[in-house]
């Protein structure tokens, strides 16, 4: 069974609600999903996953330090995430508050791990992944579900 890890950091619940929808989407596409706060994600979780989807609030137009810490820890497993499918999602307070640069900051780390990253085909205009502004609305949650399903389907193809 294809394994998808959804890791997120959330202080006030917006990114956590997005993470729930991403996980639901991945499950609907047949994946076995692990949904965890980034502080609880282990290096073994990363290695075991076929798809890794990471969510962060937008902090100063970048990922939160707690999320960066997971990527910093992952330097210990350089080479072992190659060809896994990756995607990112974020919640910001403002529509032009740096949500896209936050997604890119996450995708950059995945690319450095030689993961195969996917973006968003114009569903919310996020381009680089799912975005919610404040409390995620139905449109954002639907994009999150589609992101989870997209990663699960591609990861199934790549790992078969
Ligand atoms: C330290 C800090 C930095 C933030 N920086 C930004 C920012 O650069 N742009 C923005 O739009 N919102 C910013 N925000 C707001 C959060 O991104 C926003 O409230 C988000 O929805 C919080 O997600 P959460 O509910 O998952 O914690 C910041 C919040 C904090 C606490």
What values do phi and psi take at 86, rounded to 5? Answer: -130, 150
Q: Does residue 95 line the site of ligand 1, with CB under 6 A?
A: no
Q: Name the residue with the closest Cα to ligand 1, atom 15.
A: 93
**Cut 0.95: pTM above it:** yes
Q: Name the residue with the closest Cα to ligand 1, atom 5.
A: 59
pLDDT grade for 38, boundaries at 50, 70 and 90: very high
Using one digit for the tens of pLDDT, what is the confidence trace for 111-158?
A: 999 999 999 887 656 799 999 999 999 999 999 999 999 999 999 999
Domains of the chain, by residue range, sit at: 3-159
Closest-lying ligand 1 atom to the alpha carbon of residue 15: 26
Cα(71) to ligand 1 centroid in Å equals: 20
What values do phi and psi take at 88, rounded to 5? Answer: -135, 155
Q: Which of 10-24, 47-61, 122-136 has the lowest mean pLDDT?
A: 122-136
State the pLDDT at residue 160: 78
Q: Does residue 11 line the site of ligand 1, with CB under 6 A?
A: yes
Rounded distance between C-alpha atoms, residue 84 and residue 69, angstroms? 20
Superfamily of domain 3-159: Flavodoxin domain (3.40.50.360)
């Amino acid at each position: 069974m294809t394994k998808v890890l959804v890791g997120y950091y959330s202080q006030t619940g917006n990114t956590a609600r997005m993470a729930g929808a991403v996980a639901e989407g991945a499950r609907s596409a047949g994946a076995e999903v692990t949904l965890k706060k980034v502080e609880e994600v282990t290096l073994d979780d990363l290695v075991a996953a076929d798809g890794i989807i990471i969510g962060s609030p937008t902090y100063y137009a970048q990922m939160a330090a707690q999320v960066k810490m997971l990527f910093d820890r992952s330097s210990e497993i350089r080479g072992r995430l190659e060809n896994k499918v990756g995607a990112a999602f974020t919640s910001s307070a403002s529509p032009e508050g740096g949500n896209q640069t936050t997604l890119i900051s996450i995708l950059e780390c995945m690319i450095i791990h030689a993961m195969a990253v996917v973006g968003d085909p114009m569903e919310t205009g996020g381009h680089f992944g799912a975005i919610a502004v404040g409390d995620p609305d139905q449109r954002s949650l639907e994009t999150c579900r589609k992101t989870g399903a997209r990663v699960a389907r591609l990861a199934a193809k790549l790992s078969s």
